[in-house]
């Protein structure tokens, strides 16, 4: 009877360990599923905000162009207009550096991404280089936009904020006196 009792005790102990392991693994998986997914971003244009000296964009069929002189942004057509510098920097922070969620290379048919006739564009320049990014169609299922830079045959998938932050007219950018 002593030998059978020991075997039963060992089997019960193994059963308890297996049950504990099962619940431990279940809890571990539960914690892992709550962790945010690692998002890898692709750098499209690696430019620092402070290196940009000029930028333009179109909004509601009007082109706005701004230049930086001695760390202050001005509206190119009328430098007497006082601009909200923080608003300008917030806009440029979306494109300097410019990152994307996905990169589609060697695209031959820009029509399928709405880039045959882009709906919007943004241009910006440093002392050494200039860039143009063009907005294509919105993928409403994934809530992303397609864009390309410098009319290349590569299409990038970007967050809507890359372009929506530039949905400002001159009045929106003026410094308000309080």
Indicate if the pLDDT at residue 37 is higher than 60. Answer: no
Model confidence at 18, pLDDT cuts 50, 70, 90, reads: confident
Q: Are 168 and 127 in a shared domain? A: yes
- How far is Cα 131 from Cα 125, in angstroms, rounded to an integer? 6
Longest dimension (CA), the chain: 101
What integer pLDDT is reported at residue 56 of this predicted model?
Answer: 97
Model confidence at 168, pLDDT cuts 50, 70, 90, reads: very high
Whole-number Cα distances in Å, 175 to 81, 85, 102, 123: 8, 8, 36, 23
What integer pLDDT is reported at residue 40 of this predicted model?
Answer: 77
139 neighbors 145 (Cβ within 8 angstroms): yes
By mean pLDDT, which of 13-22, 117-126, 150-159 is the weakest?
Answer: 13-22
Q: Are 102 and 16 in a shared domain? A: no
- How far is Cα 120 from Cα 21, in angstroms, rounded to an integer? 56
Q: Considering the chain, what percentage of its residues have pLDDT values greater than 70?
A: 92
| 166 C-beta neighbours (distance < 10 Å), count | 20
What is the average pLDDT value for the chain, to the nearest integer?
89
What integer pLDDT is reported at residue 31 of this predicted model?
Answer: 64
Query: Total structural domains in the chain?
Result: 2
Is 8 part of a structural domain of the chain? Answer: yes
More confident site: 33 or 23:
23
Query: How do strand 155-158 and strand 102-104 relate by DSSP bridges?
Result: antiparallel
What's the predicted TM-score (pTM) here? 0.74
Query: Mean pLDDT across the stretch 118-133?
Result: 95
Helices (H) and strands (E) in the chain, counts: 4, 10
Q: Are 55 and 87 in a shared domain? A: yes
Q: Are 23 and 90 in a shared domain? A: no
- How far is Cα 163 from Cα 85, in angstroms, rounded to an integer? 19
Whole-number Cα distances in Å, 26 to 5, 16, 68, 111, 156: 31, 15, 57, 47, 38
What integer pLDDT is reported at residue 32 of this predicted model?
Answer: 64
- How far is Cα 7 from Cα 15, in angstroms, rounded to an integer? 12
In the three-class reduction of DSSP (H, G, I as helix; E, B as strand; rest coil), residue 53 is classed as coil
pLDDT, tens digit (0-9, with 9 covering 90-100), for 80-115: 999 999 999 999 999 999 999 999 998 999 999 999
Is 84 part of a structural domain of the chain? Answer: yes
Question: Which residue in the block uniquely carries the two structure tokens 């990014």?
Answer: 133
Query: Mean pLDDT across the stretch 116-140?
Result: 94
- Which structural domain range is residue 23 located in? 1-35
């Amino acid at each position: 009877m002593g030998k059978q009792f020991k075997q039963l005790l060992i089997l019960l102990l193994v059963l308890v360990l297996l049950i504990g392991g099962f619940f431990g693994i279940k809890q571990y998986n539960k914690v892992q599923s709550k962790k945010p997914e690692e998002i890898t971003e692709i750098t499209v244009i690696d430019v620092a905000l402070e290196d940009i000296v000029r930028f333009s964009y179109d909004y509601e069929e009007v082109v706005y162009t701004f230049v930086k002189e001695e760390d202050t942004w001005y509206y190119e057509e009328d430098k007497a207009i006082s601009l909200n510098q923080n608003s300008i920097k917030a806009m440029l922070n979306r494109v300097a550096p410019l990152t994307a969620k996905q990169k589609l290379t060697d695209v031959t048919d820009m029509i399928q991404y709405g880039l045959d006739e882009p709906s919007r564009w943004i241009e910006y320049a440093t002392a050494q280089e200039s860039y143009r990014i063009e907005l294509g169609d919105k993928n409403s299922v994934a809530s992303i936009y397609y864009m390309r830079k410098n009319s290349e045959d590569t299409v990038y998938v970007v967050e809507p904020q890359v372009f929506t932050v530039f949905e400002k007219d001159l009045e929106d950018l003026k410094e308000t006196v309080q």
